[in-house]
Amino acid sequence: MKSSKKRKSLPPKAIIKLGRFVWTSLWHLMMSNLAPRSQSGEYVRPASAFRNSVGTEPENPYQPAAGRYCLYVGWGCPWAHRTLIVRTIKGLEAAIPVTIVSPAPEEGGWAFEKPEEGCRTLAEFYQKAQPGYEGRCTVPVLFDRQTKTIVNNESAEIIVMLNSQFNKWATNPALDLYPEELKEKIDWWNEKIYSAVNNGVYRCGFAQTQEAYEKACNELFAVLDEIDAVLAGSRYLCGDRVTLADVRLFTTLFRFDIVYYGLFKCNRKRIRDYTNLGGYLCDLYQLPGVADTCNLEAVKREYYGNLFPLNPGGIIPIGPEITNLLEPHNRERVGVSVN
């Protein structure tokens, strides 16, 4: 016999509350897998694992040479983008070839368009270079074709090597992005910018508590405001010449209005709305060869299409237009005294 009792259905408010609880739990689980966090919910970026250097010291197994080393990069990655810029403006295209990897969600990471060193994915590549490796498989990677191993996967160190160790094969060897007399100032800017800006946008986007997000966001815009004020009297961060500090800042600024402003909730202000930062971004973008390293569509595709917890629908926005980066910036007049 059928029971005459009717099952009680949950009231709409209870269904909404249950759905929100389930989604929030799933979101935190996905975010924890994507981005490690502290007890307070702050994003904590793991350190890079391969930290060897190319150099001319007699005991160094990684001696400078043309064609010996290769860079593995992803178009969307700001850390990898640094290496592409230094390689380009130093004129090292012929000496250091580049291989592009792309996100492959089904593979759980970066993948090669065609097998490289017998590997389909960057994870397999890391394992081949160091069997048993259990760390993150990130770009950029500076790979030694001679010893078949990864020399370095820390972008901050790779760009220093590209600046100084391959001048013999560079078409622009006179350009020094890390001059001795400015190293202290460059290092000071790098430390400030890394924490609050380069990694700061990720601390905003990957924060898992309101408190952690607000702390990161306030620090981010405090430093951007500080930089904007400095740029009122200085063409670049360290004076009238481009340095590694500018390169490291540029790759975040280029992505800011495109993805960080919306997707990472860094929406207090756009870079183009700043009095000086907007023109500074245009100035760097218009340096010879730099625009060719900036792949707008890949940046949007790789952020909006692969960070599922932040963009569950996977919808990639049509805009924004970046033609403003080609507009006159007049930054060459900044800091120049007029008699």
Active site residues: 77, 202
How many Å separate Cα 224 from the centre of its chain?
Answer: 17
Which residues 6+ apart lie within 8 Å of 107 measured at CB? 120, 121, 123
Q: Which two tokens stand for residue 231?
A: 């740029």
Q: Which two tokens stand for residue 310?
A: 């932040």
Contact 62, 151 (CB under 8 A): yes
Which amino acid belongs to residue 311?
N
Q: How many Cβ atoms sit within 10 Å of the Cβ of residue 136?
A: 16
Q: Is omega for the bond preceding 320 within 30 degrees of 0, making it cis?
A: yes
How many Å separate Cα 78 from the centre of its chain?
Answer: 2
| Alpha carbon distance 155, 159 (integer Å) | 6
Beta bridge partners, 99, equal 72
Complete DSSP assignment for 102-127: EEEGGGTEEEEEEEETTEEEHHHHHH
Contact 78, 198 (CB under 8 A): yes
Q: Which two tokens stand for residue 86?
A: 């230094």
Contact 107, 192 (CB under 8 A): no
Torsion of CA 99, 122, 89, 291, to 10 degrees: 80
Q: 220-243 burial, b for 16+ CB within 10 Å, e for fewer?
A: bbebbeebbeebeebbbbbeeebb
